[in-house]
Amino acid sequence: METLDTNLKDLEEKAEILKALGHPVRLCIVRGLLQTGGCNVSKIQGCLEIPQSTISQHIAKLKSAGIIVGDRKGLEITYKVANEQVLKIMHILFNL
């Protein structure tokens, strides 16, 4: 009988990624960022038609999970996906 991989730290990191992606709005944000190559909160808001404060909360969750990063230029922050595991997951889910 094979032994199970019990590297809990690795499993916890993967679970956090899945939890962050587990909300429809966050999944939509990540898919949109991949399709556009990155964009700012205003553009995301225009696509989703939900309040900017709500989008900012979802962005914060994605950033804290290490899924996206923001590149600041002046007052504007452009977000993009920065996690290889997420790229693989999104490819499987959406054929991106």
Q: What is the 3-state secondary structure (H, E, C) of the chain?
A: CCCCCCCHHHHHHHHHHHHHHCCHHHHHHHHHHHHHCCECHHHHHHHHCCCHHHHHHHHHHHHHCCCEEEEEECCEEEEEECCHHHHHHHHHHHCC
In this structure, which CATH number among 3.40.50.970, 3.40.33.10, 1.10.10.10, 3.40.50.1820 belongs to the domain 38-96?
A: 1.10.10.10
For the chain, give every domain's residue range.
Answer: 38-96
Give residue 7's pLDDT: 82
Give residue 5's pLDDT: 63
Q: What is the pLDDT of residues 47-91, one digit of tens each?
A: 888 999 999 999 999 999 999 999 999 999 999 999 999 999 999
Q: What is the pLDDT of residues 3-36, one digit of tens each?
A: 666 788 889 999 999 999 999 999 999 999 999 9
Give residue 86's pLDDT: 96
Over residues 31-42, mean pLDDT: 93
Stated pTM of the model: 0.86
